[in-house]
A = this chain, B = another copy of it.
C-alpha cells in the first residue's frame, strides 16, 4: 500500500472540518495595507501558528519592521532521509473595498452553490488563505495517518504579500541559514481549468509607485487663477496620459531594454492551450483586448511588462461642484515586470520620465514599495517532474506549464537571496475574483489542492529514495 492512499482517505473524511477551519481563518480581516488592521493581521498569523503547532511544528511569529513573519519547522521522521522542503504562503489579504459590491460581508464567509458545486465566498478565500490551508491540511492528514511527516519541512508564511513584501528581503537575508532547503513550494497561482492542473513557470515581477505633484501653496479659486497658473490635476493627467504611446507601449526610459521575446516553442505551446481571449475578457465584462499592438492576450499577460494606474485623487471629489484649483494631486501605479528587468533600473526610468515632464512651479514626490523581479522556473528540474507526477496522480492528466501575470514577490527574493527555485503549483481559477468583491474558492479546488499537495509530497520523497 502506498504512503499516499491512506492520506487521501483521511482528507476525504476530514474535509468538512477542513472547510470549517478555512472559514475560521477567513473571518480574521488581515488587511495588511491598512494600518487600522495591524492587530487583526497579526491575529491571522498567530492563528496559523496554532494550526502548525497542533500538527507537530515548532512555529512562531517573528517581528519585522512591518507585519510579523511566520516561521515553522518540522524535523520529519528524524532519519535524515528525504529532501528538505520550504513552503511559502501568506496570511494577509487585499482590502475588500468597494464594499457595496459584496453580496455578503467580506469577512463573513458564505458557502454557496455554483456551477462546480459548493464554493466559499470571502476576501482571501483563494488568495491566499484557501491555498495556504490546502497545504496545512495535506500535512495535517499526513501526520494523522503516518504519525510524522516524510521529510524535513520549513514553513515561511508572511503577512505583507499584498503590500509588495517590503520586509521579506531583509528577513530572508538575515535568516538565510535557517530557511535554506532543497526546493520551495508555493500555492498562490491558478490551475489551467478546474480539471486541468498547471504549474506556473513564469511569474511577473512588480514595481509600485505613488507620485504626487505639488503646485500652488494652497487651493485656489479657479475663477481668480484659472488659465494663468499651474493646475496640478491638469498637469498630472497630462503626464500620466503620456505613459503609453499610440501602440500601447510604455514610454518610461529603458523600460524594454532587458525584455526578451518569448521563444517560438513557447509561443507555439501557448497557442496549443486553447485559451479563449473572448471568454477571458467576458469575465471582466469586456469585449476588446487592449495593450501592446500585435500581441496575443497571453503574450501580453505572461511575457510583457505593463504600467497600470491603480488609483488617482486630487481636489474636490464630493457631491456637486467646487471651482477649485487643488494645490496637489496624486496617483498610484504599478508596473508588472518580466524576466530580465531590474526593478531598480525601472524605478530610475520612472523617476526620469516624470522629472523630464516637471511643469514650471511643480514639484514631484515619490513613494515606492521597492519592487521585485520576475521569476522563471527551469522546466527540466527533478522536483518539477515530481510535482507533475503528483498532479497527474490526482487529476488523471498531465499538468501544463503556464505563465502568470501576477507577482509573488517572495518567490523572486527566495531565488535571489536563498538561491532556491520554487514550484508554483496553484489551484485557483480565472474567475475567482481575487482582489475584487465576492472573491471565491471552489471547494473542489480546495480538495484537489490538499490532495495534490499530499501527492506531490509523496512523489518528492519517492524521488529522493529512488535517487539514493
Contact = CB atoms under 8 A, between A and B. Distances in A.
A311 B308 contact: no
A51 interface: no
Contacts of A332: 315-317, 321-322
Given A227-B306, A312-B313, A320 B34 contact: yes
Interface string A215-241: 111111111111111110110111111
A334 interface: yes
Contact of A33 (B238, B305, B322): B322
Interface in A190-207: 204, 206
Contact of A228 (B32, B301, B307, B319): B301
A217 to B, nearest CB: 3
Contact of A309 (B206, B217, B237, B280): B237
Interface string A73-104: 00000000000000000000011011001000
Contacts of A221: 406, 434-436
B309 A234 contact: yes
A310 interface: yes
B222 A322 contact: no
Interface string A233-256: 110111111111000000000000
A214 to B, nearest CB: 10
A227 B291 contact: yes
B219 A98 contact: yes
Interface stretch (A147-155, A281-289, A449-457): A281-289
Contact of A361 (B286, B322, B369): B286
A346 interface: no
Contacts of A349: none
Interface in A380-406: 404-406
Number of copies: 2
Interface range for A: 35 or more
Interface stretch (A112-120, A265-273, A323-331): A323-331
Contacts of A331: 233, 237
Contacts of A97: 316, 318
A163 interface: yes
A404 to B, nearest CB: 7
Contact of A285 (B208, B216, B228, B241): B216
Given A228-B297, A238-B244, A284-B229, A223 B321 contact: no
A227 B95 contact: no
A284 B33 contact: no
Q: Is the interface of A mostly helix, strand, loop or mixed?
A: loop
Contacts of A223: 204, 206, 336, 404-407
Contacts of A234: 240, 243-244, 307-309
A261 to B, nearest CB: 15
A430 B35 CA distance: 42
Of the candidates A226, A242, A437, the one having the most CB atoms from chain B within 10 angstroms of its own CB is: A226
A350 to B, nearest CB: 14
A359 B291 CA distance: 12
A231 B301 CA distance: 14
Nearest to A404: B223
A210 interface: yes
A433 interface: yes
5 contacts: A227-B292, A229-B291, A309-B314, A310-B321, A311-B314
Closest 10 CB pairs of A and B: A241-B241, A217-B285, A223-B406, A33-B320, A227-B306, A311-B315, A288-B360, A233-B309, A237-B240, A238-B241
